[in-house]
Structures are given as structure tokens and as C-alpha cells.
């Protein structure tokens, strides 16, 4: 259904934007920030997780919560056109 696909795309975009804003403010100087950002926008959950693995646990946990909608449906469900 097109409406479901659009809703999924909107949830993914919001998750990406919210996650990125928080990451930039709180983790912009941490190792792996740029690679984690690329993985976030590419929908690569395993790569994202590995890039933030060394971040402080509370920060990492919050970023993972914010990014949940991005990875919830898997990469194949992420719309390719924004």
C-alpha cells in the first residue's frame, strides 16, 4: 500500500534527522561519528552499531533509541528516493 510505504518513509526520515541532530550535538567529536552518520543515512544497522560501539553507554543507548525507526524495518524497506 502506498500510504504505508509513505508512512514508513516518513518515520525513517524523522528517525534519521532526529538521530543525526543529537549525534552531531553530543558525539560530533567522538571516534566513528562520520562513519556512523553515513551508516545511519544508508540504513546499515550493523555498520551503525559497530561505529558507535565505543561511545559512552548512555549516549550510545539514546542514539540507538532515536535511530530505532531507521533500522526497524530493515534496509530493503527504506525508501530509496527522498
pLDDT higher than threshold 60 for residue 82 = no
Tens digit of each residue's pLDDT (9 = 90 or more) over 38-79: 999 999 999 999 999 999 999 999 999 999 888 886 544 333
Task: Taking residues 25-37, report their average pLDDT.
Answer: 97
Nearest to 32 by CA among 10, 51, 48, 46: 51
What pLDDT, on a 0 to 100 scale, did the predictor assign at position 73?
61
Q: Does 4 or 19 have the greater pLDDT score?
A: 19
Longest CA–CA span in the chain (Å) reads 41
- What's the rounded Cα separation, in Å, for the pair 77 and 23? 23
Amino acid at each position: 500500500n502506498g500510504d504505508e510505504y509513505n508512512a514508513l518513509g516518513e518515520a525513517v526520515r524523522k528517525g534519521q534527522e532526529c538521530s543525526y541532530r543529537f549525534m552531531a550535538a553530543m558525539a560530533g567529536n567522538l571516534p566513528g561519528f562520520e562513519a556512523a552518520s553515513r551508516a545511519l543515512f544508508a540504513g546499515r544497522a550493523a555498520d551503525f552499531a559497530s561505529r558507535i560501539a565505543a561511545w559512552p553507554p548512555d549516549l550510545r543507548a539514546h542514539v540507538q533509541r532515536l535511530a530505532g525507526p531507521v533500522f526497524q524495518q530493515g534496509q530493503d524497506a527504506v525508501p530509496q528516493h527522498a
